[in-house]
Amino acid sequence: MWNPTRLMRIRSHKATDDSTMGAGSEVPDLFADNEKLDEITRVRDAVRSLRREARTFDEESELSGRSCELDLQRYLVLVSGRIIGGQKRDLKEGDRVFLEQVLGFHIDSADFTEIVVKLQSRPALELDAILPELLRRQLKTRGSWSDPCGSAILYIDMIARGTGRVYGDRLGELRNLAGRIGLELRSAVDGERDRLADLPPALPNISGEAQEKERPANSASAASSNSGQGQESVAGPDESPRTETLDQIKAELMSLIGLEPVKRDFLSISNLLRVRQLRKQNELNNEPLSLHLVFTGNPGTGKTTVARLLARAYRALGVLSKGHLIEVDRSGLVAGYVGHTALKTREVVKRALDGVLFIDEAYALMGEGKDFGPEAINTLLKLMEDYRDRLIVIVAGYTDRMTAFLESNPGLKSRFNKFIHFEDYPAPEMARIFEHMLEEAQYRATEAARSRIESVMRSLCENRASTSEMHGSSGTFSSRCSSNTQTGSPP
């Protein structure tokens, strides 16, 4: 908690310009302003949650000589220092006291001086790449169904934005900087996750040579133990056994509820690739073929699940050496400053090489005016050509918007010529999915419950169809709900 004695030593006065706290000037009593007090309370709550998590790691890992909590505090000072202009000016003693008031913990003068030097001497890209020890340890945590770093990144983003609001941000520049820092932090976490995924699994009581021999079997075991976990942004190459066959992947696809047209398209693609593989083995020519795909349909219709299966199928067929899937949206490709979008897109493509890059809601990249989305598209098109044998891109989104997206750039139409449409689930299939979820949770529905479930699902379909018609929807969902067996063709 804040030390009242220290607070009394700070000369209290009212800031005359809310856009800045002053470059190193004496800090006012921030608690005297109710709005700033509320903002500081939210920042400190986020800091408290992060410190509690870091302290837990310190207690569990007594062998580590590096304090996770102290490292976290230094990182928060570094981020907050960037927010208040530490890369453009020398932070002074008044800035240190200001950050103490906002963050709620003591900042050692020597540590603060070291951080000020780091802010002045290192470029933004290098500062963006810094990962606090807390996130590194969370990345090594196993057995969690969700992203262990997700909440920590949200707290850090909240602290950065809150610090900017307390400091004064009439033009919104500090909010933009905080958002960019958060995006780059997520990219750095994804990069570290990929690095860890490429490391050989730790096997106790065996030599290094034995580890190499046992690695495939251990990878399969690890994949089995991780099955059923929630979706993540990155599906590593070791997520499934390296020795799995195309028939095994097909069996997993066919076990999915519904998606009959999608299954037929999947089998058509795999059969075509198998023929091309046989022709290559027999030294016969193959015509150039684009394997980039467009997935159209509403959210929640299985697009990401099928993309993961396709990536694994490409690996099983020898089309891709890794077969991992990198999933991003606009925020993962577009940056907030001139020239940064191309760098960010290249980094994402680099991580996706020898695998599949899945871009959800790709139409959001079109942009207007001075938007940087088109820069991401142009960069992506060039990299798709440069790495045509090492990268497959799948773009996904609503049908009408994806059509407009492909029309926005001639290079897109020439590279994406295969469509797979994902229809909405009809009521009977939704009921089966719900019953499957019950079984996974070790519940069993009675006949009366099954009848009620189907009735509720039919009602949901009818209500959503009515809503779609009111808003001028294309009627895809309505047509699916009216027939249990209707199938559609790709647009």
Asked whether 54 and 72 are in contact (CB, 8 A), the reply is: yes
User: φ, ψ for residue 429 (rounded to 5)?
Assistant: -70, -35
Number of domains in the chain: 3
Encoding tokens for residue 267? 């089998």
Q: Point out which residues pair with 392 in neighbouring strands.
A: 356
Residue 44 shares a structural domain with residue 168: yes
Residue 401 shares a structural domain with residue 442: no
Q: How far apart are CA 120 and CA 84, in angstroms?
A: 13
Answer yes or no: is 264 within a domain: yes
Answer yes or no: is 205 within a domain: no
User: φ, ψ for residue 66 (rounded to 5)?
Assistant: -100, 125
Where among 383, 404, 422 does a domain terminate?
Answer: 422
Residue 53 shares a structural domain with residue 121: yes
Residue 337 shares a structural domain with residue 471: no
User: 3-state DSSP call for residue 183?
Assistant: helix
Local confidence pLDDT in tens for the 491 residues of the chain: 333 333 333 333 333 344 444 444 455 678 888 888 989 999 999 899 899 888 888 887 654 456 889 999 999 999 999 999 999 999 999 999 999 999 999 999 988 999 999 998 888 888 988 999 999 888 877 444 445 687 788 889 999 999 999 999 888 899 999 999 988 998 888 888 877 776 655 444 433 333 333 333 333 333 333 333 333 354 544 444 446 788 888 888 888 888 999 999 999 998 898 898 888 888 888 888 889 999 999 998 999 999 999 999 999 988 998 889 999 999 899 987 777 899 999 999 999 999 999 999 999 998 766 778 889 999 999 999 999 889 999 999 998 899 999 988 888 988 898 899 999 999 998 998 898 888 888 888 888 998 899 899 988 888 776 665 554 444 443 344 433 333 333 33
Provide the residue type at 176 as one letter. Answer: N
Answer yes or no: is 468 within a domain: yes
Answer yes or no: is 214 within a domain: no
Segments forming the whole domain that contains residue 182: 4-198
Q: How far apart are CA 287 and CA 166, in angstroms?
A: 61
Where among 406, 422, 438 does a domain terminate?
Answer: 422
Q: How far apart are CA 190 and CA 71, in angstroms?
A: 20
Which residue, 114, 84, 113, 111, is CA-closest to 99?
84
Burial label, 383 (beta-carbon count in 10 A; 0-12, 13-18, 19+)? buried
For the whole model, what pTM was predicted? 0.49
Residue 167 shares a structural domain with residue 49: yes
Answer yes or no: is 217 within a domain: no
Answer yes or no: is 215 within a domain: no
Query: Residue 400: which CATH number?
Result: 3.40.50.300
Where among 397, 422, 447 does a domain terminate?
Answer: 422
Residue 363 shares a structural domain with residue 387: yes
User: φ, ψ for residue 93 (rounded to 5)?
Assistant: -60, -35
- HSE on the CB side for 226, CA within 13 Å? 20
Residue 146 shares a structural domain with residue 183: yes
Encoding tokens for residue 393? 């891109």
Answer yes or no: is 252 within a domain: yes
Residue 240 shares a structural domain with residue 386: yes
Answer yes or no: is 487 within a domain: no
Cβ neighbours of residue 166 closer than 8 Å, sequence gap 6 or more = 30, 36, 39, 40, 43, 102
Residue 270 shares a structural domain with residue 358: yes
Residue 322 shares a structural domain with residue 401: yes
Residue 33 shares a structural domain with residue 179: yes
Residue 106 shares a structural domain with residue 249: no
